[in-house]
Copies of this chain bind each other. A is one copy, B any other.
Amino acid sequence: MKTNLKLRVQALGDPTRMAIFERLERGPLAVGEIARSLPVTRSAVSQHLKVLKDVGLVTSQRAANRQIYQIDADGVAGLRDYFDHFWQESLQSFKHAAEKSFKEKSQ
């Protein structure tokens, strides 16, 4: 399994980074635009975006003066798949535990 997945969860574990991430849900934004809607400096936003980019949750591209960030849909899909797989495994193990418990009680 990709260890990147854990790093992504770790990255989103910070409330400010999660807020930045959600700002990008509706579409690409420049660093300054994000910072203006948050109670932190551009510097902080820039650092957070670097983390998000390093773990593959956002991508960036230059537009003249500005740096435009947007969600990396593949990165999000990875997270969804991980939790989906996890969910299925959990259901499975729950079934087994329930059956085992039933057998133990009925003997």
Contact = CB atoms under 8 A, between A and B. Distances in A.
B71 A77 contact: no
Interface of A is mostly: helix
A39 interface: no
A70 B79 CA distance: 21
A50 interface: no
Interface residues of A, number: 32
24 contacts: A6-B15, A9-B13, A10-B14, A10-B18, A11-B13, A12-B13, A13-B13, A13-B14, A24-B90, A26-B89, A27-B93, A27-B97, A28-B97, A71-B94, A73-B87, A73-B91, A76-B86, A76-B87, A77-B87, A80-B83, A80-B84, A80-B86, A83-B83, A84-B84
